[in-house]
Structure 1
Amino acid sequence: MALLVSLVFLLLLTLIGVSSLRNATLQEKMAASLSLRNQSFQAAESALRAGEGAVQQGHYTLPACARCPPPAESSGVTAAGANSHSGVTWVATDQGFYGVQNLGATLDAVNLPPHTAATLYRVTAVGVAGHSRTVLESIYAKY
C-alpha cells in the first residue's frame, strides 16, 4: 500500500515539475519577444529622428508627389534603395530604414503662425530587431 501511495505521489510531483518547466520556457520566450519588440521600436525611433534630421537640412529638396499614400512596402522593406511602386527611396540606418515623401506646400500647418508657408514631409521609419519590425511615421513641416 505504501508503495502505491509513493508512486502516485511521485507521479503528481513529476506532473507539477513538467508544468513548471513549460511555464518557465513560455515566460522566457515572452521576455525575449518583448525585448526584441522594444529594440525594434527604439531602432524605428532612431531612424525617424535621422529622417527628420535629413529633412531639416537647409539644402534638402524632394519633388512633391502627386499621390502620396503611406508606403505599403514599409512592412517588408529589407534593403536601402528606391521603390518603383511607391517612389520612396529608403535610406539605411544602424538597425532600420527611413523614407521621405514630399506631401506639398500648405498655409495651414499645425503649431505654426497663421498663413505661414510650409512644406510637409512624411517620414516613415522602419526598425528591425530579430523577427520584430516596428513602423513609425511622422509629418514634418519645414518652413
Structure 2
Amino acid sequence: MTLIVGLIMVLLMTLVGMAAIRGSNMQELMAGNMRDRNLAFQAAEAGLRQGENLLTNATLPVFDGTTVGLYDAIDGSSSTGFWDTYGWAAASATTSMGLEYVTSQPRYVIEEVTSSSTLSMDGGAIDFASTLKTEDTTFYRVTSRGEGGTNGAVVILQSTYKR
C-alpha cells in the first residue's frame, strides 16, 4: 500500500513540475515578444526624431516628392490603416543611425500638411490692429516605422510639427 501511495505522490509531483516548466516557457516567450515590441517602439521613436530634426534646419527642401520621403499631403494618409499598407521600402527615407538588434533601420515620411496664417499674439488685448499681424505657419506630419528584433514586431508612430 505504501508503494502505491508513493507512486501516486511521485506522479503528482511530476505533473506539478511539468506545469511549472510549461509556465516558465510561456513567460520566456512573452518576455521575448515584449523585448521585440520595445525595440520596435524605440526604433520608430528614433526615426521620428530624425525626421523632426530635418524640420529644424534653417532651409527646408521642397515637399513635392522629388526627394524620397518628403511629400505634400498624401491622399488618405490620415485614415485608419493607411500606413499599414504603405510602400515603406520605396517611398520613405531610411535613417542612417546604425541601430543594433533591429532587423532594419527605421524609416520615415514627412508630409507638408497645411499652411495657414495665425494671429501673432504678443500678450495684449485682441483688437483690429492685432488681427492684422499674422504669421505664416506650416504644419508637417512625420510618420515613422520601426521594426524590432524580428520583422513581425512593427511600430508606426506619428507626430505633428509646427513651423
TM-score above 0.5: yes
Q: CA deviation at 1:134?
A: 0.8
The aligned residue for residue 59 of structure 1 is: 60
Give ranges in structure 1 of 5+ residues lacking alignment.
Answer: 83-89
The aligned residue for residue 96 of structure 1 is: 106
The aligned residue for residue 124 of structure 2 is: none
Distance in structure 2 (CA, Å) of the matches to 1:70 and 1:126? 15
Distance in structure 2 (CA, Å) of the matches to 1:77 and 1:18? 45
The one-letter code matched in structure 2 to 1:62 is F
* Compared CA separation, residues 69 and 75, structure 1 to 2 (3 A): closer
**Larger Rg over CA atoms:** 2
For residue 81 of structure 1, give the secondary structure of its aligned residue in structure 2.
Answer: helix
The one-letter code matched in structure 2 to 1:11 is L
Q: CA deviation at 1:113?
A: 4.4
The one-letter code matched in structure 1 to 2:153 is S
Give ranges in structure 2 of 5+ residues lacking alignment.
Answer: 65-71, 99-104, 122-133
Q: CA deviation at 1:118?
A: 1.2
* Compared CA separation, residues 46 and 113, structure 1 to 2 (3 A): farther
Indicate whether 1:25 and 2:25 are aligned: yes
CA RMSD of aligned residues (A): 2.3
* Compared CA separation, residues 78 and 7, structure 1 to 2 (3 A): farther
Q: How does 1:45-124 map to 2 (within 5 A)?
A: 45-57=45-57, 58-63=59-64, 64-65=72-73, 67=75, 69-70=77-78, 72-76=81-85, 79-82=88-91, 90-93=92-95, 94=98, 95-108=105-118, 113-114=120-121, 115-124=134-143
Distance in structure 2 (CA, Å) of the matches to 1:13 and 1:139? 58
Question: TM-score, length-normalised on structure 2?
Answer: 0.71
* Compared CA separation, residues 66 and 133, structure 1 to 2 (3 A): closer
* Compared CA separation, residues 42 and 113, structure 1 to 2 (3 A): farther
Question: TM-score, length-normalised on structure 1?
Answer: 0.80
The one-letter code matched in structure 2 to 1:107 is S
